[in-house]
A and B are shown apart, each in its own frame.
Chain A
Amino acid sequence: MIQVLVKEFNSFLNSLIAYVVIGVFLTGIGLLMWVFPETSVLEYGYADMETLFTLGPYVFIFLIPAITMRSFAEEARGGTLELLLTKPLTDWDIILGKFFACFLLVVLAVVPTVIYYFSVYALGNPVGNVDTPGVMGSYVGLLMLGAVFCAIGILASALTTSQIVSFIMAAFFCFLLFAGLESLANVNVWSEQTLFIRELGLLHHYDALSKGVIDSRNLIYFGSVIAFMLLLTRIVLGARSW
């Protein structure tokens, strides 16, 4: 697993992908958080980081599929997937290696935003008047969300040999699972099941973490979605030799 992880992560760093992803994420979030008046912390007047945590997921929906889209699709198209599968590695080694390489890149993109926390901390009146537990919980949620999106992207990449198809599918599934189910629950036909549908979506669990309480139910939910997506990837890869 480690070998695949290192190889994949190096290939991110050797191409432009890593720098573009990190650059675009930080530029986008930085503009939203400090410059654009509708969402800027300076205009809002409260020392909190709501902007990062409500808009970050939407930036992820476009960025993470772009990171993951090549992982299996490119190997399948270039014919190197057979080569990789014949190496003395299990399917799980390959899948987990690629998954964690993508996740590591996401973590690398999120880490510099910790500076925003210190800025907001210093801007608070009195200084330090920030909801620190809320921010910590939100970071846990944001990273879990990034991991889920990576798993979805890996699955989409294994399903097709075209990177563009993979990107579009991954972005769509991420959106559907994140905001789609929440909006679907608001359609006025479910009555009793409304809450159940909302709990199936990612947004419900993400919001729950953001208030500063780490709840085992939310973590287990995120873990199961990741496990399910990677399991499907394993089946899709295995289906090549049925």
Chain B
Amino acid sequence: MVNWQDKRTGDLLLLANGIVLLILVNLLSSKFFFQWDLTDEKRYSIHPSTREMLRTLDDVVYIEVFLEGELNADFRRFQKSVRETLEMFRVYANNRVQYSFTDPSLAMKQQAEP
């Protein structure tokens, strides 16, 4: 028989409840989230029609970006913004957009692959 008055049981229950609650909150927040775009021109907000298209993709889209390796400052910034946009597409498309970055000098095939 469990002694519910025991401090140890209480503490362990608190821990278990806390963990479950935190996991639930995070799962819920991954479905229902809001974004507050600080930029003036709403640079990072995706247009509703684009979002609609991403949501209704029939099949997985693989994107391979040939932009990797020893890049100078300009291209590093460019690569970062391309990556951010693709990452946002992936979230809105429910993982049906997959992407990878490849160093063009090391690329072996001509076609993108998963």
Q: Is the CB of B26 within 8 A of A215?
A: no
With A and B bound together, what is the CA distance between A242 and B9 in angstroms? 9
Q: Is the CB of A215 within 8 A of B35?
A: yes
> Which residue on chain A has the smallest CB distance to residue B74?
A46
Task: Please tell me if B8 contacts chain A, counting CB pairs below 8 Å.
Answer: yes
Nearest Cβ on chain B to A230's Cβ, whole angstroms: 10
With A and B bound together, what is the CA distance between A231 and B14 in angstroms? 8
Partner of A211, one of B30, B34, B44: B44
Binds A, one of B15-23, B50-58, B104-112: B15-23
Partner of A231, one of B18, B26, B34, B84: B18
Q: Which residues of B contact A2 (CB under 8 A)?
A: none
Q: Is the CB of B77 within 8 A of A46?
A: yes
Q: Which of A35-71 contact B (CB under 8 A)?
A: 44-46
Q: Is the CB of A227 within 8 A of B18?
A: yes
Nearest Cβ on chain A to B90's Cβ, whole angstroms: 8
- Chain A interface size band reads 20 to 34
Partner of A46, one of B33, B44, B73: B73
Q: Which residues of A contact B43 (CB under 8 A)?
A: 212
Q: Which residues of A contact B95 (CB under 8 A)?
A: 195
Most A C-beta atoms less than 10 A away, residue of B8, B22, B73, B77: B22
> Which residue on chain B has the smallest CB distance to residue A225?
B22
Task: Please tell me if A79 contacts chain B, counting CB pairs below 8 Å.
Answer: no
Partner of A220, one of B18, B25, B40: B25
Q: Is the CB of A214 within 8 A of B36?
A: yes
> Which residue on chain B has the smallest CB distance to residue A219?
B29
With A and B bound together, what is the CA distance between A6 and B76 in angstroms? 45
Convert A209-225 into 0s and 1s, putting 1 for each residue whose CB lies closer than 8 angstroms to a CB of B: 00111111100110010
With A and B bound together, what is the CA distance between A204 and B44 in angstroms? 17
Nearest Cβ on chain B to A228's Cβ, whole angstroms: 6
Task: Please tell me if B11 contacts chain A, counting CB pairs below 8 Å.
Answer: yes
Q: Which residues of B contact A238 (CB under 8 A)?
A: 7, 11
Task: Please tell me if A136 contacts chain B, counting CB pairs below 8 Å.
Answer: yes
Given contacts A211-B44, A234-B14, A239-B11, contact A228 B22 (CB under 8 A): yes
With A and B bound together, what is the CA distance between A133 and B7 in angstroms? 48
Q: Is the CB of A228 within 8 A of B18?
A: yes
Task: Please tell me if A241 contacts chain B, counting CB pairs below 8 Å.
Answer: yes
Task: Please tell me if A89 contacts chain B, counting CB pairs below 8 Å.
Answer: no
Some 19 contacts from A to B, beta carbons below 8 A apart, are A133-B37, A136-B38, A137-B38, A195-B95, A211-B84, A212-B38, A213-B44, A214-B36, A214-B38, A215-B34, A215-B35, A216-B33, A217-B29, A224-B22, A227-B18, A228-B18, A231-B15, A235-B15, A241-B7
Q: Which 6 A-B pairs have the closest CB atoms?
A: A133-B38, A214-B36, A220-B29, A242-B8, A133-B39, A224-B22
- Known contacts A215-B33, A221-B29, A242-B8; can you find 19 more A-B pairs with CB under 8 A? A45-B73, A133-B37, A133-B39, A133-B40, A136-B38, A211-B44, A211-B84, A212-B37, A212-B39, A213-B36, A214-B36, A214-B38, A215-B35, A215-B36, A217-B29, A220-B29, A224-B25, A227-B18, A231-B14
